[in-house]
């Protein structure tokens, strides 16, 4: 019996070693099989970013492109401009104005889509199964059309001779058309319309799993509608709000088509400003540095959203 126990222990030890060795072999084989896809992903995602990052530290070419002379001038030009006479630095007011307009309109777009998206998602999630499918189908219809087509649809609504002004004049609300086109308001309306489905879908996913008995419990505890919304509904659907805010804020911050069509040349955002540097401005290093700077802004916003949602979940 004494000799049998060491033999059994040795057998279990050998089998454990073989299992760990087999596990390492499977892991190595899986990594080898996924290596081509990972290589393509790294090259396709990181390669262009590395090129843009390198360009941001180069000198602008005479007619476009870059000269391979390292410099930090492009990064300085994001926030400062040099006087053409004494070479002193001053704040780049135009650049800062564009940054502020982009962030402000993106935040307003996110807020507007939350205000309209939450009731819409709640309405869809509380419908019967077949009707719910129909309403979700209607929400996804805008994705079937090109972004430019949707933007021109909004243009036809808000232009001076568009449907909005025509109806308001016929109803006697206004005497002359409202000048909405080529303003920040037009850009805000267009972006809210374009990105609203991106807010509705995550909110719907969060509300669909909602236990509506909690609402009844809140009313049974003499809470009014506002208290139920603030204390019961919003904390539970918060992950959907965070996900929708990310999906709306990130693309709206770098929007190009909607500000270009509805805002005109004088109401540009960061995306339009970057395109201008690579096009008519012929200052590729500045355009590259603006692109990396926009990427950093998006990363900071994402980290803030994730951290805020994590903190809220830990408190709950």
Tell me the whole-structure pTM to 2 decimals: 0.82
The answer to whether the beta carbons of residues 107 and 301 sit under 8 Å apart is no
Helices marked H in the chain — which ranges? Answer: 4-55, 73-79, 93-125, 129-140, 147-158, 163-170, 184-208, 213-220, 225-228, 234-253, 257-263, 270-278, 284-315
pLDDT in tens, 14-58: 666 778 888 888 888 888 888 888 888 878 878 888 999 999 999
Question: How confident is the model over 261-284, as a mean pLDDT?
Answer: 88
For the domain made up of 90-315, give the CATH fold: MetI-like fold (1.10.3720)
Per-residue confidence band for 119, with pLDDT thresholds at 50, 70 and 90 = very high
Question: How confident is the model over 255-272, as a mean pLDDT?
Answer: 87
pLDDT higher than 90, residue 209: no
pLDDT higher than 60, residue 11: no
| Average pLDDT of the chain, as a whole number | 86
pLDDT in tens, 120-176: 999 998 888 788 889 989 998 888 888 889 999 999 999 988 889 999 999 888 888
- All structural domains of the chain with their residue ranges: 4-55, 90-315
């Amino acid at each position: 019996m004494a000799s049998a126990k060491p033999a059994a222990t040795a057998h279990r030890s050998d089998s454990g070693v073989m299992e760990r060795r087999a596990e390492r072999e499977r892991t190595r084989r899986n990594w080898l099989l996924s290596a081509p896809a990972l290589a393509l992903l790294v090259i396709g995602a990181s390669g262009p970013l590395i090129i843009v990052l390198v360009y941001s530290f180069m000198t602008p070419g005479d007619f476009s492109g870059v000269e391979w002379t390292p410099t930090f001038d492009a990064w300085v030009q994001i926030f400062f401009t040099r006087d053409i006479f004494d070479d002193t630095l001053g704040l780049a007011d135009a650049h800062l104005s564009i940054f502020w307009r982009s962030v402000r309109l993106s935040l307003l777009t996110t807020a507007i889509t939350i205000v309209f998206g939450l009731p819409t998602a709640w309405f869809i999630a509380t419908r019967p199964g077949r009707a719910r499918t129909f309403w979700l189908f209607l929400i996804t219809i805008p994705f079937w059309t090109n972004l430019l087509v949707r933007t021109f649809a909004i243009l036809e609504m808000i232009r001076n001779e568009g449907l909005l002004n025509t109806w308001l004049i016929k109803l006697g609300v206004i005497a002359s058309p409202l000048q909405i086109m080529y303003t920040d308001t037009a850009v805000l309306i267009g972006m809210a319309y374009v990105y609203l489905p991106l807010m509705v879908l995550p909110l719907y996913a969060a509300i669909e799993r909602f236990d509506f008995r909690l609402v009844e419990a809140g009313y049974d505890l003499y809470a009014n509608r506002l208290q139920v919304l603030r204390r019961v509904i919003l904390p539970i659907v918060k992950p959907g709000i965070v996900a929708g805010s990310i999906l709306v804020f990130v693309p709206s911050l770098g929007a190009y088509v909607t500000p270009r069509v509805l805002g005109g040349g004088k109401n540009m955002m960061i995306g339009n400003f970057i395109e201008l540097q690579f096009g008519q401005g012929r200052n590729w290093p500045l355009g590259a540095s603006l692109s990396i700077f926009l990427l950093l802004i998006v990363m900071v916003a994402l980290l803030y959203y994730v951290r805020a949602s994590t903190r809220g979940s830990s408190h709950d």
